[in-house]
Structure 1
Amino acid sequence: MAKTSLRSQRRSRRPMSQINVVPFIDVMLVLLIIFMITAPMLQQGVEVDLPEAQAEALDDGTEAAEPLVVTVDAAGALSLNQGPRVNEPLAPEEMTEIVIQFLEDHPGTQTYVRGDRNVDYGRVIDAMIALQRAGGGRVGLITEPPRDD
């Protein structure tokens, strides 16, 4: 009788061939929460109150990695979203030099201007002209779609 009970104990202690995924799920949920919290903080940029306009998005058939955007904030300061001084205030001449160098390194990049709705319209036009002189070609304006109230 003692032999049969010893055999049954050996059989019940066989290693399991299943993987326990509960710790994996716990780690994934923690990472998901961390990424959900940190993702909005990674968005950098200059705060601009864009005007609203009902317009179609431009599609010229090219798929550039990221367009070059000149931002004109409410105070009239210029900044770029790419280059050596990202989102820093730039003088118009300095911005033009950076754009020329950037477009030489990345030909065919789309160029846009983001102008605050409260900035003098002349400052937005000056930014567009500077982009065109730097070799930007067609320059687009960035707006927000109208809100449904």
Structure 2
Amino acid sequence: MKGMGMMPESRRKPMSEINVVPYIDVMLVLLVIFMVTAPMLTQGVKVDLPQTSSDPIQADKDVEAIIVSVDSNGAYYVEVGDRGSDPMALEELQSEVAKILSQRSNSEVLVRGDEQVRYGTVVRLMSALQMAGAANIGLITEAPLDKP
């Protein structure tokens, strides 16, 4: 008779440890997958997006902005201060902006595009400006007119 009323000696204690090795293996596999796919997901033109509502940009009085315009026909123009340019090709515009930025590295570059211009034209322009050395590119818009 084994101790009447007493607990049997062969009773097992509950295990208080969890084997985390399988979870670590899964985590490492996911890490490798994300490391391989992440560079493929980041394509496009780098643009610094505003962190506030669409309030007007406060222009620095000491720095003249470089304004690059695209008209409805897809012709490009460069304006610095009061000086404008004749219509030019994208490659010509890129070299012109690179020359200006080499002399004035802290200048802002702003893009003014016609409402009828195709999206791809503006994206190619922004890519060319980025390759010309423009760190920050802003977009110029007009406030919508209130309808009566």
| TM band (smaller chain) | 0.5 to 0.7
- Please state how far the C-alpha of 1:86 moved relative to its aligned partner: 2.6
2 CA distance for matches of 1:98 and 1:81?
11
Q: Secondary structure at the match of 1:81?
A: strand
The counterpart of 1:104, out of the listed 102, 105, 116, is 102
Matched pairs, number: 94
Considering fraction of residues, name the structure with more helix. Answer: 1
1 CA distance for matches of 2:73 and 2:129?
19
**Structure 1 residue ranges without an equivalent (≥5):** 1-53
Q: Secondary structure at the match of 1:76?
A: coil
Q: Which has the higher contact order (CA 8 A, sep 6+)?
A: 1
- Please state how far the C-alpha of 1:62 moved relative to its aligned partner: 4.2
- Please state how far the C-alpha of 1:128 moved relative to its aligned partner: 1.0
2 CA distance for matches of 1:70 and 1:135?
14
Distance 1:64 1:132, change over 3 A: farther
The counterpart of 1:80, out of the listed 74, 78, 81, is 78
CA contact (8 A) 1:64 1:109 kept: no
**Structure 2 residue ranges without an equivalent (≥5):** 1-52
Amino acid at match of 1:56: D
Report the TM-score when normalising by structure 1.
0.57
Report the TM-score when normalising by structure 2.
0.57
Runs of 4+ in 1 over 4 A off after TM superposition: none
The counterpart of 1:117, out of the listed 97, 115, 118, is 115
